[in-house]
Structures are given as C-alpha cells and as structure tokens.
Amino acid sequence: MLTIPTDVTDMAQLIVMIGVFGAGLYILNYFLLQMGILRGSGVLYPLLVIIAASCVLISMAEEFNLAGSIIQMAYILISVMGLLRGYLSHHLVRFSECEKQFVANYLETLKPHHARKLLNTARLTTYEPGEVLIEEGITSDYLAYVLSGRTTVLKNGQVINQCGPDQILGELTFGIGLPATATVRAVEPTTCLVFDGQRLARLLRRNRQIDDALKAAHFRHARQKLLSSNNHTVKARTTAMAA
C-alpha cells in the first residue's frame, strides 16, 4: 500500500523520480514516433508529450530552472493547441449532400478532415446531353465523380460501357500523363464533382493518407468498371450474333 511521504528527503526523492519518469516518457514517445507506431497528427503523441512535460516541470520544483520551465510549458501549450485543432477539424467539418454522397460511396475510410481537403479541390459541373467529358487520345488530368445522370463510354466510336451515379471518370489516366483510353459523352443531363487536376496533384503530393485512400478507391472502381465493360461487350456481341 502506498504511503504519503512526510519526510523532506522522501519528498525530494519522489520529485526526482517524477522527473525521471517524464524524461523516460519523452524518450519512449519519440522512439514510438520514429518507429511509425505513433503518428504526430494523432491524439496519443501530444497527450504523452503533455504528461512528460508536466512530470519534468514538477521535478523542477526542487531546483527551479527558468529556461527549462519555459520549454516544458511551451511543449504543454503547443500540444494542447494541437489537440484542440484536431478536435475542431474532426467534429466541425461540414459537407453538402452531394459531398456526403461522394464520401459515403467512394472514400468512407478517409477521415472527415482529409475528405474535406480533398473535396476543396472539386467543383460541381453539369453537362448537357451530347457534351463530351473526356475525349479519346487527348491527354488531360480530368477526374470526376458522377452524382446524377448517365454517360456512355466509347472506344473507336463503339459504345463499350455506360457510367451512371456514384461512378468515377478518368481514374485510369489521372496524374500519369497518358492520353485518355476512351471518349466519355453525356447522354442525359449529368452532374459531376469535377476535381481540379493541378490542385489535387499538389494535395496528393503533400498528404500520403489522402493519396493512398484515393489510389485504393481508384483500383476498386477500375476493376468494377472493367468487369462492367466486359459484360457490356459480351452482351453487344451476343445481340449482334442473334440479329
């Protein structure tokens, strides 16, 4: 059972042990960060910094050090500010209905504040029937998410697929500098979230989490689109043979 130290020497030893614990926690926290176990943008890292700094600050009660105290108080203040920023970015993020549709169907694993950054690079665009969204053979960084309407995908003038709501356009060639592999044309009024290629590319270079999530979503969607395209081609050939 723990007893409260009454002797001045015992109290001094306790203060020293608290300081040693704080120093050890500093080292452990930094080690876990460098090993990739903790993330600097997470909650646990700044929380451990606050505990470590508080312990070291307490240990200075025995032998006060102005410079050391300023450093520890700065660590505590900056960590609290970081936790507050993280809380606000997670809980005060707002999305429009169409943005919620995109996140729910395409990037549901992405954290809200990251999804907000991604969507800040997009704008709502409506296409009329017959309007070309992507032209085969033309190099562009076009990337769009279909909210409503329908498009046809043509290869060498032949319809090979159709894309409707909750599908992505341009993911196969976005960011790699290759010409579009097919033409995409609206067949009815179609509303899309169209991403600004340059702004999105800059964001992806700076934020690996968003980049990884977007690439994974592109892979899943491209696989589904290829399967759909193959099914459409088989049906078209079967219909032609029957005719």
Task: Give 110's strand partners.
Answer: none
What number is the average pLDDT over the span 76-101?
Answer: 85
Please identify which residue in the block is written with the tokens 């099914």.
Answer: 231
- Burial readout 151-170 (b: 16 or more C-beta within 10 A, e: otherwise): bbbbeeeebbbebeeebbbb
**In sequence order, what DSSP letters do the residues of 48-85 get, joined into one string?**
HHHHHHHHHHHHTTTS--HHHHHHHHHHHHHHHHHHHH
- From 18-32, 80-94, 116-130, the region with the lowest mean pLDDT: 80-94
Query: Per residue in 107-125, pLDDT tens?
Result: 877 888 888 889 999 999 9
**In sequence order, what DSSP letters do the residues of 171-182 get, joined into one string?**
TTTTTTTPBPSS
Query: Per residue in 196-220, pLDDT tens?
Result: 988 999 999 888 888 888 888 877 7
Question: What's the pLDDT band for 1 if we cut at 50, 70, 90?
Answer: very low
Domains of the chain: 8-91 (no CATH), 97-242 (2.60.120.10)
How many Å apart are CA 107 and CA 166, to the nearest integer? 11
Q: Please tell me whether the overall predicted TM-score, pTM, comes out greater than 0.85 for this model.
A: no
pLDDT value at residue 92: 74
Instruction: Mark residue 30 as left, alpha or beta (left: phi above 0; alpha: psi -120 to 50; beta: remaining).
Output: alpha
pLDDT value at residue 157: 84
**CB atoms closer than 10 angstroms to residue 92:** 10
How many Å apart are CA 226 and CA 173, to the nearest integer? 14
Question: What's the pLDDT band for 228 if we cut at 50, 70, 90?
Answer: low
pLDDT value at residue 127: 95
Write down the mean pLDDT value for the chain. Answer: 84
Question: What's the pLDDT band for 156 if we cut at 50, 70, 90?
Answer: confident
Confidence check: pLDDT of 158 > 80: yes
**CB atoms closer than 10 angstroms to residue 29:** 19
